[in-house]
Amino acid sequence: MNPLRTLSTLGQSLWYDNIYRAMIRSGELASMIKEDGLKGITSNPTIFEKAITGSSDYDAALARLLEQNAQQNARDLFFSLAIEDIQAAADLMLPVYREANGHDGLVSLEVSPDLAYDTKSTVAEAKKLWKRVDRPNLMIKVPATQEGLPAVEELIDAGINVNVTLLFAVERYRDVVDAYLSGLERRMRRGQPISQIASVASFFVSRVDSALDKLLEQHPDEKAKALTGKIAVANAKVAYSAYEELYASARFKPLQNAGARAQRLLWASTGTKSAKLSDVLYIEELIGRDTVTTVPPATYAAYKDHGKPKTTLSRGIAEAKQQVDSLKAFGINLKSVTDQLENEGVKSFAKSFDTLLGAIESKSAELRKKASAHA
């Protein structure tokens, strides 16, 4: 049996961490839904940068948008292009969404990364995008920065599906759950329904090992070296333990009784970045019920080829906690590392976004020039 399809039998939803126009139009996405049991799509500024700048697939659409309004800036043009892709993907995913009663079949679109430290602007743009896309199976991605947390609460209160992204630390994950529950509580107090709101907390995996392994490999203690390639999975398992605790709490019970769903953990950054590790490590070690794994193209193909699905997430939780705790004894401050990863993640997405806007501006200038020459 297709290893990708088997994940759903183990309680885990498979999402694809990629989107581009050709995969939608060629039938590739429809095939993945049918053959692999694909249940969702995630996107980010870097993915759209590669899609739009790496092909000519968007040139005709860009020319059309400029014909409609030649004065549009690069940001407006980008969101128009992105929204066309998101809407088309959401339409293909709609049968999955309906079959799962809103639990899956979701497609994520991120707010502008340069708003990561601006709560008010994040909320305003998220609401604008939600209205423009106009699909029930849209998820708005919001970074899990300190400023992003109140935005999450407000958007959940507004009935908007939210994918909370760039999560690296278990403590920050607890804050994300608090924001999600607070949003549901506010909405319920207003007498509004909460049963159809979907949310995930995107917990990044491989980047944690990429940062920590450099420190562990150079450590004089062999016990520290033995943790190389293990902390990212351990950190994720500790987060899953927190998930089980928080959603079994007395606080969640009345929300659950009113139809609310738990905000699932989503494993992001699942592509292995070290040649020393298995190319499917972060899929195989984090398979468990009520979770999502979003998989980039190379890892998706690798797992389909030689993945061996079995439940692994709930195993070795005590050992995972011990591994994470042991970092202190080796003089490694995990919080400092995860704080740095969050900052770098925001900067990386902002850089991709700037590159993307620059490329759109250049293409637009060429198209305007051609249009004026033919006028």
How far, in Å, CA of 272 to CA of 281, rounded?
A: 7
How far, in Å, CA of 21 to CA of 83, rounded?
A: 11
305-332 burial: b if 16+ Cβ within 10 Å, else e: eebebeebbeeeeeebbebbebbeeeeb
Residue reference for tokens 């207003």: 190
Task: Please give the backbone phi and psi of residue 292, each rounded to the nearest 5 degrees, phi first.
Answer: -125, 145
Handedness of CA 163, 196, 290, 17 (dihedral sign): negative
CB 130 within 8 A of CB 138: yes
CA neighbor of 240 nearest in space, from 337, 173, 324, 160? 173
CB 92 within 8 A of CB 138: no
Alpha-carbon separation of residue 86 from 2, 28, 125, 271 (angstroms): 27, 15, 16, 23
Q: Of residues 141, 230, 237, 363, which has the active-site annotation?
A: 141
- Annotated active-site residue 34? The verdict is no
Angle between helix axes 59-68 and 334-373 (nearest 10 degrees) is 70
Tokens of 260: 């609310």
Q: Which residues are catalytic?
A: 141
